[in-house]
Amino acid sequence: MKKTSLSQKLLLIIFGLCLAVILLEAGLRAAGALVLYLQERHNHLSFAGNEYRILCLGESTTALGGEDSYPSQLEQMLNAKGEARKFTVINKGIISTNTNYILAHLEQNLDAYKPRMVVLMMGVNDKIYLLHEPDKSLWRENIKFYLKDLRVYKLARLLYEHITHRIKEIKAPAQTPDLSPSGDGKYQQTEDFLKSAIAQCLKRFSQDRSARQYVMQAGLFCVELAQRYRLSGRFQEAQELLKQATVFAPGLPAVYQEWGELFLAQKQGAQAIKAFQTALALGPQNSDILPGLARAYYQEHNDNAFFIYAGYLRSNPKDYWGDIELARWLRETHHDDLAEKYEDIAQGYFRKAAQHGTDDYFPITLVNYSLVLKKILSRHIKVVVMQYPLRDIGPLKNYLGQRKDVIYVENKENFKQALAQAGYSRYFKDSFAVDFGHCTREGNALIARNLAGVILKNK
């Protein structure tokens, strides 16, 4: 029997790898089609007779999250206002799409959904594939563009961004720890899911008293649900859940850290200090507890706040929003010289981000925005042009100009203020766009709340 040569083995390996990539690409596209089908089905099931229909167009920053996405939360917020008319918000965000695709399918979406208003937040995925450097051939740039459009490439890039973001979190923990038992940190669970999960964990423990891990998981679920209640102002319900969590998982630092956050939210600084100190005693390696402890001391007008926060920032030099928060405290207490130091550190990062063009638009994006607006306005439909978190609406507004029935919405100051009070990971899951990333439930709530106020004034 003739032996397989080394070159033949290499060819077989290469062939196998190529086949695997092709099958994975086909599978990802099929999965994408299924997601779109389910999204479409949900959109049509939500139709009512005389509702005020809002169509949200965009990429993964619009599409992802399910009930935690900004369109879903926007619908809940608008209908919670008690208006006589029902609002229906349609999520037509598509993962990994660009403005070319959105423009190409615009009239189809307008015909299918007949919206009264369209919300646009798009452009982050656009590529400059018609412009190339003088020393590079156009065909090479086009090949690069099509390779980057592969679902396999986008999956690999998303995984890379997620892994590197998690590594950064481990090295420099953010304000809010990952409390979900699955460890994904995405805050995708609904309130009903969390309540059910707590009940299921306790039921399993009652069936097997040696399985203490179920009690610990119940405690973790209680902490996450308490955090949601706290963020929505339901302090009494959060307190009851934390009492349960303290019984279920008395040695878990996250329980006492959330107690501290709850006391802070209720302006009970002295109790917050005790809670954070307990959390730190149980988890001395968890430096993400320190900002909360510093905030509690600051609430009590205690100078320990400055020393604790400064120590935290020395070990977490990339927490730029922490630098801004400490600088604000120093300004408020008239320590102007020290405040300038921390402001300079933070501003250095933002200047670097600006140099990389994070606030700029590719020419194709601006052209497509103009064409999309023209098509929508020709049907006498109102348009909201919304900017991504932390980015300036100015360049886009200057290019498109003031137009009748076009409303501009910026998500810069609301996110800056929120990030000055808490860590980046509370509002973003990653940093795929350098200066912002895919939002958590809390981040999408900031967008939805900002947008709801504008819509109610302009509907």
Q: What does the domain layout of the chain look like in residue ranges?
A: 47-126+362-458, 173-316
For the domain with range 47-126+362-458, which CATH number is right: 3.40.50.1110, 3.40.50.300, 3.10.129.10, 3.40.630.40? 3.40.50.1110
Helix axes 290-299, 253-265, angle to 10 degrees: 30
Q: Do 102 and 57 form a contact (C-beta atoms < 8 A)?
A: yes
Averaged pLDDT of the chain: 79
CATH topology for 173-316 is: 1.25.40
Say what the pLDDT of residue 50 is. 72
Residues facing 118 on adjacent strands: 55, 383
Residue 354 or residue 218, greater confidence:
218
Say what the pLDDT of residue 359 is. 46
Say what the pLDDT of residue 253 is. 92
Which amino acid, one-letter code, is at 96?
Answer: S
pLDDT grade, residue 138 (50/70/90)? very low
Say what the pLDDT of residue 127 is. 60
Across 115-129, 321-335, 360-374, least confident range: 321-335
Mean pLDDT, rounded, for 114-125: 94
- Span 153-181, pLDDT tens digits: 666 766 666 666 555 544 443 333 333 33
Say what the pLDDT of residue 128 is. 42
Across 84-98, 302-316, 318-332, 398-412, least confident range: 318-332
Say what the pLDDT of residue 238 is. 92
Say what the pLDDT of residue 137 is. 43
pLDDT grade, residue 244 (50/70/90)? very high
- Please say if the pLDDT value at position 427 is more than 50: yes
Percent of the chain with pLDDT over 70: 75
- Please say if the pLDDT value at position 361 is more than 80: no
Say what the pLDDT of residue 348 is. 63
Q: Do 363 and 399 form a contact (C-beta atoms < 8 A)?
A: no
Say what the pLDDT of residue 326 is. 79
pLDDT grade, residue 2 (50/70/90)? low
Say what the pLDDT of residue 126 is. 81
- Please say if the pLDDT value at position 293 is more than 60: yes
Percent of the chain with pLDDT over 90: 36
For the CA atoms of 11, 13, 17, 23, the dihedral, rounded to the nearest 10 degrees, stands at 90
Residue 309 or residue 25, greater confidence:
309
- Span 63-112, pLDDT tens digits: 988 889 999 999 999 998 866 789 999 999 998 888 988 999 999 999 99
Say what the pLDDT of residue 136 is. 43
Say what the pLDDT of residue 165 is. 55
Across 72-76, 114-118, 320-324, 451-455, least confident range: 320-324
> Residue 89: what are its φ and ψ, rounded to 5°?
-110, 125
- Please say if the pLDDT value at position 400 is more than 60: yes
Say what the pLDDT of residue 41 is. 58
Say what the pLDDT of residue 449 is. 95
Say what the pLDDT of residue 401 is. 86
